[in-house]
Structure 1
Amino acid sequence: MVKFQEPDLDRIFAALADPTRRAMLSRLEEQESLSVSELAQPFPLSLPAVMKHLDVLSDAGLISRAKTGRTVACRLNAGPMEEAMNWLHRYERFWSGSLDRLAKFVEEE
């Protein structure tokens, strides 16, 4: 059995699998930088729960954090998403070809 081990890609997809984390990334896309409390504000989560989500995003390389005094600022790092998009594009080409063949078959019938 062939095993594909791409731990970076696994961490990226695991981080993106959660809707709260995706919402956090969306907020960071709109703002250059947000403090942890600003980022947590719209979510009905405790601060420890927010920190766990940020740890997952940070481990996947999707955000960076910088501490200034008592404030921790978060920034989006979209670079790792390019690796995930490249992986997805391989399958997009497969499905596009399959759907094109299906459409041609249906039109011929």
Structure 2
Amino acid sequence: GAARTRPEAVIADRAYATGVIRTELRRRRIRAVIPDKKDQIAARQRRGSRGGRPPAFDGQAYRGRNVVERYFALAKQWRGLATRYDKLAITYRAAVTICAILTWLRA
């Protein structure tokens, strides 16, 4: 098959700000663009210098996340995509492609 490619970065919201996920991404040499949870920030500040350094965060890359979020919000308006009625993966993929094309044409 085709060669596997490693993503440059994984952009996620605060729900995925766990040490396990960050460790796995670091092991695979994938940059994590995940903001810290509020309680993690508070715990680090409470511990002072022993709290450690906060993980790197690229705010510019994180701003691009809303483009994907907005597309999924639009795609969920299509009943067939939201409920995934198609039996075959290729049919579902075609519906996603048509939805993306129509969204792009309307913009």
Q: Same fold (TM over 0.5)?
A: no
Indicate the structure with greater strand content: 1
